[in-house]
Amino acid sequence: MKQARRNIVTRSFRLVAAIALAGAAAQAFAAAPAVIRVGVASPAHGSPPGISGSSIAIAHATGAIEQEFKADNIKVEWFFFKGAGPAVNEALSNKQLDFAFQGDLPSIIGKAAGLKTRLILATGIRANLYLAVPPDSTIRKVEDLRGKRVAFFKGTNGQLPINRLLAAHGLAEKDLRVVNLDTATSQAALTTKDIDAVFGGYDLIKLRDKGVARIVYTSKGDSPVFTRQSHMLVTDDFAGKYPEQTRRFVKAVVKAARWSSDDANREEVFRMWARPGTAKLEHWKEDYEGQPLRTRLSPLFDPFLTERYKDAVEHAYQFRLIRRKFDVDTWIDRSFLNATLKELKLESYWPANPVGAFSAKAAQVSQKPVPGGSIRS
Give yes or no: residues 42 and 54 share one domain: yes
Whether 52 and 179 map to the same domain: the answer is no
> How is the beta sheet containing 75-80 ordered, strand by strand?
75-80, 35-40, 99-103, 230-235, 117-122
How many CB atoms lie under 10 A from the CB of residue 100?
27
In a domain, 3, yes or no: no
Specify if 28 maps to a domain: no
> Can you give the pLDDT at residue 182?
92
Residue 271, domain CATH = 3.40.190.10
pLDDT digits (tens, 9 = 90+) for 16-27: 444 444 444 444
Read off the DSSP letter of residue 278. S
**pLDDT single digits (tens) 34-43:** 999 999 999 9
Question: Is residue 55 in a domain?
Answer: yes
pLDDT at 1: 52
Is 350 contained in some domain? yes
Q: Does one domain contain both 95 and 219?
A: no
Residues 247 and 341 in one domain: yes
Whole-number average pLDDT of the chain: 88
| Domain's final residue, options 226, 248, 263 | 226
Domain of residue 210 covers 130-226
Closest CA to 226 of 357, 123, 365, 102: 365
Q: Apex CA 257: angle with CA 112 and CA 129, to 5°? A: 60
Judge if 244 and 119 occupy the same domain. yes
Given 226, 258, 287, the domain boundary residue is 226
Is there a contact between 76 and 69 (Cβ–Cβ < 8 Å)? yes
Give the model's confidence band at 354: pLDDT under 50 very low, under 70 low, under 90 confident, else very high: confident
Q: Is residue 18 part of a domain?
A: no
**Residue 82 and residue 45 share a domain:** yes
Instruction: Considering only residues 370 and 103, tell me which one the structure prediction assigns the higher pLDDT.
Output: 103
Q: What is the pTM of this model?
A: 0.85
Give the per-residue pLDDT at 250.
Answer: 98
> What domain count does the chain have?
2
Residue 202 contacts residue 281 (beta carbons within 8 Å): no
Residue 342 included in any domain: yes
Same domain, yes or no: 341 and 299 = yes
The model's pLDDT over 183-223, given as tens digits with 9 standing for 90+, comes to 999 999 999 999 999 999 999 999 999 999 999 999 998 99
SS3 80: strand
Domain end, chosen from 165, 192, 226, is at 226
